[in-house]
Amino acid sequence: MPIIVDAVRISGFRGIQDLKMSLARVAVLIGPNNCGKTSVLKAMQLALGDYGRHLSDEDFHIDGDSKRSTEIVVDVRIVAINSEGQPEEIFSREWTNELGDHIQTDLKGRQFFAFRTIAKPQETRTGFLIERHTLREWVKDEEWLSVEITPSQKFSARSEFIPFVSIDAQRDIHSELNQRSSFVGKVLSRVKYDAADVEVLEKMIADINREAVSKSSALESLKDHLKAMNESFGGKGYAEVTPFPKKLRDLSKNFSVYFGDTAASSFSMEYHGMGTRSWASMLAVKAFADLMQSVHAKEAEPYHPIIAAEEPEAHLHPNAQRALFSQLSNSSGQVIVSTHSPYLAAMCSLPDLRSLSVREGYTQCYRLSKKLSDAELKSLQREIMRNKGEVLFAKALILFEGQTEEQVVPVLFEQWFQATAFSKGVTLSAANGRNYGPFLKLGLSLGIPVVIVSDNDTSGGISTRVLVDKQISKVKSEHELDFPEEQFFLDYLSEPNDFEAEIIKSCGLRDEVIAAFVEKARTINPDPSYTEKKRKELEASSDDRLIESMRGEKATNSSFLADKIAQNAQRKSREALVPQAFQNAFSKVEEWLT
């Protein structure tokens, strides 16, 4: 029966003051830069792996008053699960034997093993004191730092059956194979052969060595000189030339991997690009973790490797990113991935996403609402993740209704901020009509601030404002999501306008609209007389007729309108170009970002 690290709590580590996080068997950490994804992985490596030998003063949290934490605290909980990943009440016999008296039972009768890692500077000498203590209970999140530890709960060694393997995109398979301290190096050093096989293989190696020396005049000469040295010692010494390792146990010291289109054209990994080398490194870790799983299974021993992959997508094209994630997901044990890739994140089961962000100076972790049904999860996957995965990495999300906005709003944003939305980390997106629900469920669950700028017209006797308000109320009631001011903002265009009417009637961008239509006409017929005739027709049109033309030609005219607003030939102020509701939205986003 498998196990899983299902919960982690971290305090005083790097940018993390107090963080609580649940984990799945395959968990994906997302969020903007400097939000704490790497810190989570390194804190887990401190508790479960070998990060203690890399620990430095810089790993201790510094608060807003420039006060450094006196200790780092990491709590880890391990529970039993079945082959489908569902919780089990008790550990298997193998894990019970391994964990022994460390196993505790909660009030519901479910077994768990939890421990606390505490790291602090040593007072009398350089370096750090790192201790681990069994936790007798797993208290509520708000009480976890008040739990008192007694000396009797202390234990020393980490379990060899729960190795924590940290890999990142800079890992190199060539160095990984030849570093004895690496996970791959440690596994290779454990490669064993039967005594009879060793004898046969070493005889073959000896034959190859003799053949290699006999074929080289330089090596033959060296061999003759070494014989002379042997004679100078009175024949008591023995020297030989071995181009290849003489003993089978030394082969792993020069282990290598070759890759190419064919065996004849393959060459060593050290000569490949970083994408191939880092991918090979990660697959080597996976392969050896699976190998060790098999070895321990044969010995009836438990084994739960935890592979922590930091930004594995670096150097890889999108399809390779998807393939790598699929391969890592099928690893033995547990996989925790941090990423900035929407392609990779879209491969993840949505409930397994963990979004990190910094709010009011604190790193916080978010996950999707547990109240989302299977149908709603499929809807999110279909409507957002498939084509708009970049939403997951936004510092803020601005939603609007239709096609015209999708072309024009990015230009309005640039006019307001004098910067692109991408450079600010803001995602702008049409919501497929008024379908704001999926974006709200995803964004607010994962801690992504959401702005909606809605039309304010009436269609078929039904007010858009009423429809949008009902939709938001439904999301609030069904999913118990908070809509705090620091995460949600809603505004409407002037009544009774849709976006096209707002552009002309409220913003007075009639000249820009006409110029856009004329530019579009020029692409159809470049004859000056044709475009001039078109201009006069447009200038003679009423505002309402222009608005109807905009509505009827959204798909083809919006990009031309965006270009004309971007050019801003009349040098209008940003307030003159941007509708009031979008001014309010942009100001709110500016407030959030700062």
Host H or E run for residue 362: strand 362-366
10 Å Cβ neighbour count for 197? Answer: 11
Work out the average pLDDT over 137-156: 91
The rounded distance, in Å, linking the Cα atoms of 568 and 564 is 6
- Is 172 a residue whose pLDDT tops 70? no
- Is 14 a residue whose pLDDT tops 90? yes
The rounded distance, in Å, linking the Cα atoms of 183 and 189 is 10
Task: Name which residue leads in pLDDT, 32 or 352.
Answer: 352
- What are 493-502's pLDDT values in tens digits? 999 999 999 9
Q: Is-contact 307 289, C-beta < 8 A? A: yes
User: Who's near 313: CB < 8 A, 6+ residues apart?
Assistant: 169, 321, 324, 339, 340, 341, 343, 344
The rounded distance, in Å, linking the Cα atoms of 490 and 443 is 14
Tell me the C-alpha to C-alpha distance, in Å, between residue 84 and each of 24, 80, 234, 243, 475: 12, 11, 71, 51, 31
The rounded distance, in Å, linking the Cα atoms of 270 and 257 is 9
Going 243 to 246 to 251 to 254, the CA torsion angle's sign is negative
Q: Is-contact 48 78, C-beta < 8 A? A: no
Q: Is-contact 335 27, C-beta < 8 A? A: yes
Give me the helices (H) in 299-373, please.
318-329, 342-347
**Using 50, 70 and 90 to split pLDDT, how confident is the model at 485?**
very high
Task: Name the residue among 399, 485, 488, 492 with its Cα closest to residue 449.
Answer: 488
Q: Given its phi and psi angles, is residue 57 left (phi above 0), alpha (psi -120 to 50 degrees) or beta? A: alpha
User: Who's near 493: CB < 8 A, 6+ residues apart?
Assistant: 453, 454, 455, 456, 499, 501, 502, 506, 579, 581
Work out the average pLDDT over 342-365: 91
Work out the average pLDDT over 536-549: 96
Tell me what pLDDT residue 525 has: 94
Work out the average pLDDT over 260-272: 64
Task: Tell me whether strands 306-310 and 164-168 are parallel, antiparallel or unpaired.
Answer: parallel
Work out the average pLDDT over 89-107: 94
Tell me what pLDDT residue 150 has: 84
Work out the average pLDDT over 223-236: 64
- % of the chain residues with pLDDT over 70: 90
Structure token digits, residue 303: 């084994």
- What mean pLDDT value characterizes the chain? 89
**If you write DSSP's letter for every residue of 408-432 in order, what string do you get?**
HHHHHHHHHHSS-HHHHTEEEEE-T
Tell me what pLDDT residue 83 has: 85
The rounded distance, in Å, linking the Cα atoms of 493 and 453 is 7
**Using 50, 70 and 90 to split pLDDT, how confident is the model at 252?**
low
Question: What are the residue ranges spanned by the domains of the chain?
Answer: 3-162+304-358, 173-282, 374-593
Tell me what pLDDT residue 559 has: 95
Tell me what pLDDT residue 242 has: 83
The letter for the amino acid at 474 is: K
Task: Name the residue among 298, 285, 14, 279 with its Cα closest to residue 164.
Answer: 285
- % of the chain residues with pLDDT over 90: 59
Task: Name which residue leads in pLDDT, 213 or 546.
Answer: 546
Work out the average pLDDT over 364-379: 90
Work out the average pLDDT over 155-171: 81
Long-range CB contacts (< 8 A, 24+ apart) of 59-62?
Answer: 59/13, 59/14, 59/119, 60/12, 60/13, 61/11, 61/12, 61/13, 61/14, 61/15, 61/16, 61/17
- What are 506-523's pLDDT values in tens digits? 999 999 999 999 999 999
User: Who's near 225: CB < 8 A, 6+ residues apart?
Assistant: none
- Is 551 a residue whose pLDDT tops 90? yes
- Is 261 a residue whose pLDDT tops 90? no
Work out the average pLDDT over 193-212: 87
- Is 182 a residue whose pLDDT tops 70? no
Rounded (10°) angle between helices 543-552 and 554-567: 120
Task: Name the residue among 156, 15, 11, 32 with its Cα closest to residue 76.
Answer: 11
Tell me what pLDDT residue 583 has: 98
Work out the average pLDDT over 107-115: 95
Task: Name the residue among 384, 431, 381, 372 with its Cα closest to residue 405.
Answer: 431
- What are 404-419's pLDDT values in tens digits? 999 999 999 999 999 9
Q: Is-contact 176 287, C-beta < 8 A? A: no
**Using 50, 70 and 90 to split pLDDT, how confident is the model at 294?**
confident
The architecture in CATH of the region 3-162+304-358 reads 3-Layer(aba) Sandwich (3.40)
**Using 50, 70 and 90 to split pLDDT, how confident is the model at 314?**
confident
Q: Which residues pair with 28 in a beta bridge?
A: 337, 353
C-alpha angle 36/39/45, rounded to 5°? 150
Longest CA pairwise span in the chain (Å)? 115
Structure token digits, residue 419: 């910067």
Work out the average pLDDT over 192-214: 87
Q: Given its phi and psi angles, is residue 120 left (phi above 0), alpha (psi -120 to 50 degrees) or beta? A: beta
**Using 50, 70 and 90 to split pLDDT, how confident is the model at 173?**
low
Task: Name which residue leads in pLDDT, 84 or 186.
Answer: 84
